[in-house]
Amino acid sequence: MFDRSLAVSVLSLDYPSHILGFVNRHRTFYKTRLQPVLATRPSSVLLHTDDSGKFLESKNKSGLDTASLGSDTLLKQANTIGIIGGLSVDSSLNFSRKLVQQSDGENCPPFVLCSDPVLSKELLLHERNSFPSISGKSEHAQLNPTLIVENLQSKRAFLEKSGAQCIVMPCHISHTWHDEVSKGCSVPFLHVGECVAKELKEAKLKPLEAGSPLRIGVLATNATLTAGFYQEKLQHEGFEVVLPDKATMEHTVIPAIDALNRKDMEGAQNLLRIALQVLLVRAVNTVILASDDMRDLFPRDDPLLRKCIDPMDLLARSTIKWALSADKGT
């Protein structure tokens, strides 16, 4: 059961067929079903929209009419966090869980979670188009990235109007357009790549080979690797970035994704183990595993995961640090 302490500080935008706790039907793979319990208090309200995107009337326990959303903010705390959902609702809810866990539950700052199945479908299509099947033929319709950017911008604007004082996107692929989406934003808009690079820099790691630069591996889907933002942020902090070579992508990563989409979990796991080990033998200090699906293939106590970093852990940690600072007015 999802942590009850999460529910007291969450406000969600959803569509009629999608409520907190459902499994995203647009994803071809999922491992766990999250079933949160949603509780409301005066500062929290569950929002729904109809097919045209208009808000349906609903009230919380204090009798707040959501039709007044456009005229006032919903949350007024200085440390309110806005979360733009991404590729799947599971990943958005997992990030919310991370916020709760890293803030000791009861001290979790208020946050607004905006989850849109239309956006999830668009992001999934973009990911699939960037990762054609082994035959080299993409079987999916092309999507204009401008539609994704406009959708993400509308979510950002909604969160700002809702009272968010800091915005985050717990989605690797969405960061492809972070610069465009964050342009003109009136509040801090954290970047997962910057959070990762900064924390690794502060860790003062030592090269595994004397006289060599600090090497950080990155394993992700083709869409995330092609976007290049992890490479850019890490290189800016002086790290040497190691990516899977062409042979590793063709013979392990791409087949692993195909196996995952066929729900051949054992096959996908075995192939990804090889990809991770190929990076590790190249003297990298750690591997950034920038894919929720890939990470979910391994048991939590798997030794390989101990050598990897989940970027969303670091994004959550940076978000909580911001919230604590904002709460103190510093």
DSSP assignments along 107-165, one per residue: TPPPEEEE--HHHHHHHHHHHHHHS--TTS---S----HHHHHHHHHHHHHHHHHHT-S
Per the domain annotation, does 75 fall within a domain?
no
Per the domain annotation, does 30 fall within a domain?
no
What is the edge-to-edge ordering of all strands in the sheet holding 166-168? 46-48, 10-14, 111-114, 81-84, 166-168
Domain that holds residue 263: 195-310
Measured CA to CA, the distance from residue 219 to residue 52 in angstroms comes to 38
Tokens of 149: 């950017």
Give yes or no: residues 153 and 216 share one domain.
no
Per the domain annotation, does 37 fall within a domain?
no
CATH code for the domain in which residue 252 is found:
3.40.50.1860
Q: What per-residue confidence (pLDDT) applies to 48?
A: 35
**Comparing 135 with 209, which gets the higher pLDDT?**
209
Give yes or no: residues 159 and 248 share one domain.
no
Give yes or no: residues 94 and 129 share one domain.
yes
Give yes or no: residues 126 and 185 share one domain.
yes
Q: What per-residue confidence (pLDDT) applies to 7?
A: 37
Q: Tens digits of per-residue pLDDT, 118-134?
A: 999 999 999 888 865 54
Q: Tens digits of per-residue pLDDT, 252-272?
A: 999 999 999 899 999 999 999
Give, in degrees to the nearest 5, the angle at Cα 275 between 271 and 276.
115
Give yes or no: residues 142 and 118 share one domain.
yes
**Count of structural domains, the chain:** 2
The percentage of residues in the chain with a pLDDT greater than 90, rounded to a whole number, is 63
pLDDT class of 142 with cuts at 50, 70, 90:
low
Give yes or no: residues 158 and 220 share one domain.
no
Q: What per-residue confidence (pLDDT) applies to 210?
A: 84
